[in-house]
Structure 1
Amino acid sequence: MSNQELQARYGHVMMNAFGAPKRVFVEGRGVHVRDADGREYTDLLAGLAVLGLGHAHPAVTRAVTTQLDTLGHISNLYASEPQIRLAERLAAALGDPSARVFFSNSGSEANETAFKLTRLTGRTKIVAMEGSFHGRTSAALAITHNPKYREPFEPLPGDVVFVPYGDVAALEAVVDDETAAVVLEVLQGENGVVPAPDGHVQAARRLTEAHGALLWIDEVQTGIGRCGALFAHHAEGVTPDLVTVAKGLGNGFPVGACLATGRASDFFQPGMHGTTFGGNPVAAAAGNAVLDVLEDGLLEHVTETGDWLAGEIEGLGHPLVDHVRGRGLLRGVVLTADIAPAVAESALDAGFIINAPRPGVLRLAPPLIITRDELRPFVDALPALLDRHG
C-alpha cells in the first residue's frame, strides 16, 4: 500500500498523540530507510538517537534472533546470563565498583526508577533544570521543564524546583540539606542540543556532596556512544550517584537501565520496585551486541566524524547558520532565524531525516556508523534547504 493509504489507516485507528505521520517506512538498512512508496532517505536522526548501529545491524539481528530462539522471556523471578553480563559491563564502564543496575524498557522507566530511589533518601525535594526533558511518565514528567508537557497532567509528583540550566549561583541558592537529588543532562537534547556550561556539572557534584543529596545524570540520549564515549559525563570528571540510559542501548530493541552507586545502590529491597519485561534475555542480548560493536573502535569514529560534520556545516559560511553545538554525533545546528521546522520538512522532501527540537535549531543524531561520504550529500544540500526559507 502507498504512504497515503497507510496514513489514512493510521488516522482511523491510532490515538492522535503524535499527529499524522509524515511517512510510513517499510525497510531500513544501515543509514538508509525506504518508505511505502519506494523512496529512499538518509536517516540523520536514527529514530531519535536510538539506532546507533543503524538499521538492521547484523550483529544485533544475529544476537536477538539467536537469543529469541534459545530463551525469550522468564520474568524477573529468575535471571539469565545475558542480563547478568550486560549489567556487569555497564557497571564496569561506569567506573565505580559499587555500581548496581536495574533494567527497564525505556528511558522514561529508567528515570521513574531513579525518581523512586531519590525518595528512599528520606527527602523529597528534587532540583531539576530549565530546558530539561526526562520522559512522559508521571515522575519523569514532573522533572521535565516544558509546561506544555506537564500542565495537562498535573498534579504530578511534587517538590520539584527548576533552576536555569548552567546557572551555578541559582543552583547554590536552592540545593540544601532538604534536597534529595539534583538531576541534569550533560547536553539537553530536546532543548536544542545545549551543552552544560563549563563547571556546571562539577558544581552540581560539589553541592550534592556537601548537602548529602544525590547527583542524578540522565544519559538517555547522550549515553551509549552518542557523544563519543559510553557515558558523556565521563568528560566532566565526576561520578554520579544515579545514571539513566536507554535509547542506543538496544539499537531499537526496547531496553533501558538505571545505574546506582554508593549508598543509592543499596536502597531497593525486594518488592520495592519491579518490571515484567525489563532486562529480559532478548533485550540483554541486544545490549551486549551493541556494546561489542562500540568497543571495537567505533567511539573514536563518532568523535572524529562529529567534529568533521560540525566543521563542514560551519565552513559553509551560510548567513542562516550561526554555529553548530554538541558533542560526537549529537549536534544542534543553531540558525539565525526561527525556520528550523520548515527546513526539516524540506529536508524530508529532499530525502534527509532530521528534526527541529527548537524553532531555531536543527538536530542531527545519525547512526554512529555513518561515514563522511554518507554525510556529504546532506552538507551539500543544506544551503539550498536554508535558502528556501531564509
Structure 2
Amino acid sequence: MSSNINRDTFNQVMVPNYSPMASIPVRGLGSRVWDQQGREYIDFAGGIAVNALGHSHPELVQALKEQAEKLWHLSNVWTNEPAIQLAQSLCTKTFAGRVYFANSGAEANEAAFKLARKYAYDHFSADKHEIISCVNSFHGRTLFTVSVGGQDKYREGFEPVPAGISHVPFNDLDALEAAISDKTCAVVIEPIQGEGGIMPASKAYLMKARELCDKHNALLIFDEIQTGVGRTGQLYAYQAYGVTPDILTTAKALGGGFPVGAMLTTEPIATALNIGSHGSTYGGNPLACAVANKVLSLIDSEEVLNGVEKRHQIFIEQLRQLNKTAPVFSEFRGMGLLLGCELQPAFKGKARDLLQLALEHGLMLLIAGPDVIRMTPSLIIPEEDIHQGMQRFTQAAEQFLQQQ
C-alpha cells in the first residue's frame, strides 16, 4: 500500500460518519494485529464479533482461494453450489427449513421485517402490520431497521420513519404483554442486546414472548447477528435458551470476516416471499458462501463451542482480578465471548477514554454505549493472548484511574 496513506487521508476522502482510531492496521494473524508502523496489538474486538476464527485463518484463506479460482458471481438469475450447501447446513443445524442470503446483518433484518409483514398480509390482513421491538435494541442502519431499532439517536435527522413500530422495555414481561395485540405481525428481540450494553434476555422473557406471539398469531424474530455462530457457546443463542423463533437473522461471524448475512425461517412462513417479492444482487455470492461453509464446519464442533465457555471463565476471572487492582467496573455481564464491562457510576460516559488508553497499551477493545467496554474476541483466541491482553488492559485501567 502507498506510504502516503494515513489517518489524515481518511479525513480528506471519506464521508465523516466514522471516527476511527489514529493507527491503521495492515496485517492480522490469529488474535494479533499490526499497524502501519509495525506496532502489535492483541485483538479483543474481533471486528465486532465478526472475526470468530481470528485473522487470516489458513482454512478460510484456502476456502476463499479455491472458490476464487472457480466462480465469483452469477446473480440470482442462477443459483450456485456453495449457496445451496450453506443453506443445507444452516437448515440441518437449526430449526430452519428455508434460508435467504444477504450481504449484512442489516439486510438480513430488512428481509425478516418485510417477511413478517408480507406473511401477515397474506394470511390475515393489511391491518396486521405492527412490529414490536425493544428499547435500546439495535437492528441495523437501513431506514427500516433503524426504525425498528430502539435507540432514538440513530433515527434523528432521518424522519419520517416507517410507521407501525413500537418499543417496549427489554426484559419487561408486563410491558410486552400490554403492547402486543392481534394487529402485531412480529416481535423482534436480540437474545443479548449488543449495542444496548451487552444485556442478556432472561429465559422467562423469551418464553413469554414465544407464548404471546403464538396467542396473537405474530411471528417471533430473534436478531442473532451478534450472538450467532458460536459466540455464546452454542451455535445460536436460542439453543441455549430453549426458545425457538419463527425467524432468525445471522451475519457477522457467519463469514468469519467475509461479508455475508442470512435470514432463517420455516418453510410455511418462507412461502410469503414469493418470486419477485424480495431480492439481493450479491446475496448468496459464491465466494461468501464458500467461506461461510468453512466457518460453520469449523465452529460447530465440540472443541470450539466447549472452548468458548472455558475462555469465558478465564476472561471473567481475569476481569475480576483487574478490578481488584484498578476498580473501574461495577459489573461484568454477557454469555460466552460476548462480554460487557460496565464502568462505575463515577466514570459514566468515559468508556471511549478507556478504550483509547487500552489501544495505547497494545489492546484492541470495543464499546457498547458510553458506559460499557465490550469484548468480542476470536472464539479460538489462545489462552496466552487472553492473559497478555488482560495484563495490558490492567495497565490501561490503572492509567485511567490516575487520570481521573
So what's the TM-score if we normalise by structure 1?
0.96
1:300 matches 2:313? no
Q: Which moved more, 1:23-32 or 1:380-389?
A: 380-389
Report the CA distance between 1:71 and its aligned residue.
Answer: 1.1
Report the CA distance between 1:140 and its aligned residue.
Answer: 0.8
**Secondary structure in structure 1 of the residue aligned to 2:400:** coil
1:75 maps to 75
Superposed CA deviations along residues 106-160 of structure 1, whole A, max 9, x for unmatched, are 0000000001101111221000000100000111111111111112111122111
CA-based RMSD of the aligned residues comes to 1.5
Report the CA distance between 1:379 and its aligned residue.
Answer: 1.9
Contact 2:352 2:367 in 1 (8 A): yes
Distance 1:125 1:3, change over 3 A: farther
Contact 1:117 1:267 in 2 (8 A): yes
Superposed CA deviations along residues 77-113 of structure 1, whole A, max 9, x for unmatched, are 11111111100111111135xx200000000000000
Letter in 2 for 1:47: G
1:182 matches 2:187? yes
Distance 1:324 1:92, change over 3 A: same
State how far apart, in whole Å, the 1-side matches of 2:174 and 2:210 are: 14
State how far apart, in whole Å, the 2-side matches of 1:352 and 1:34 are: 11
1:55 maps to 55
State how far apart, in whole Å, the 1-side matches of 2:212 and 2:3 are: 53
Residue from 224, 227, 244 that aligns with 2:232: 227
**Secondary structure in structure 1 of the residue aligned to 2:156:** helix
2:9 maps to 9
**Residues 14-163 of structure 1 mapped to structure 2, 5 A cutoff:** 14-96=14-96, 99-120=97-118, 121-122=120-121, 123-163=128-168
Report the CA distance between 1:359 and its aligned residue.
Answer: 2.3
**Secondary structure in structure 2 of the residue aligned to 1:74:** coil
Report the CA distance between 1:40 and its aligned residue.
Answer: 0.9
**Structure 2 spans left out of the alignment, 5+ residues:** 122-127
Contact 1:108 1:134 in 2 (8 A): yes
**Residues 337-376 of structure 1 mapped to structure 2, 5 A cutoff:** 337-338=347-348, 339-376=350-387
State how far apart, in whole Å, the 2-side matches of 1:3 and 1:228 are: 42
Contact 1:240 1:261 in 2 (8 A): no
Superposed CA deviations along residues 252-294 of structure 1, whole A, max 9, x for unmatched, are 1110000112532221100001111111111110100101111
2:285 maps to 280
**Structure 1 spans left out of the alignment, 5+ residues:** none
- Which runs of at least 4 in structure 1 moved beyond 4 Å after TM superposition? 1-5
State how far apart, in whole Å, the 1-side matches of 2:62 and 2:132 are: 42
Letter in 2 for 1:104: A
Distance 1:5 1:281, change over 3 A: closer
**Secondary structure in structure 2 of the residue aligned to 1:279:** coil
State how far apart, in whole Å, the 1-side matches of 2:71 and 2:2 are: 37
**Residues 241-252 of structure 1 mapped to structure 2, 5 A cutoff:** 241-252=246-257
State how far apart, in whole Å, the 2-side matches of 1:335 and 1:197 are: 22
Report the CA distance between 1:320 and its aligned residue.
Answer: 1.8
State how far apart, in whole Å, the 2-side matches of 1:137 and 1:334 are: 28
1:325 maps to 333
Residue from 264, 267, 282 that aligns with 1:259: 264
Letter in 2 for 1:324: F
Contact 1:107 1:257 in 2 (8 A): yes
Contact 1:25 1:35 in 2 (8 A): yes
State how far apart, in whole Å, the 2-side matches of 1:333 and 1:176 are: 36
Q: Which moved more, 1:59-68 or 1:380-389?
A: 380-389
State how far apart, in whole Å, the 2-side matches of 1:71 and 1:329 are: 34
1:213 maps to 218
**Secondary structure in structure 1 of the residue aligned to 2:131:** strand
Letter in 2 for 1:103: F
Contact 1:45 1:355 in 2 (8 A): yes
**Secondary structure in structure 1 of the residue aligned to 2:368:** strand
Letter in 1 for 2:25: F
1:388 matches 2:386? no
Residue from 205, 210, 215 that aligns with 1:200: 205
Superposed CA deviations along residues 37-67 of structure 1, whole A, max 9, x for unmatched, are 1111111111111000111111111111110
Q: State the percentage of identical aligned residues.
A: 40
1:236 matches 2:244? no
State how far apart, in whole Å, the 2-side matches of 1:207 and 1:307 are: 35
State how far apart, in whole Å, the 2-side matches of 1:319 and 1:78 are: 57
Report the CA distance between 1:378 and its aligned residue.
Answer: 2.3
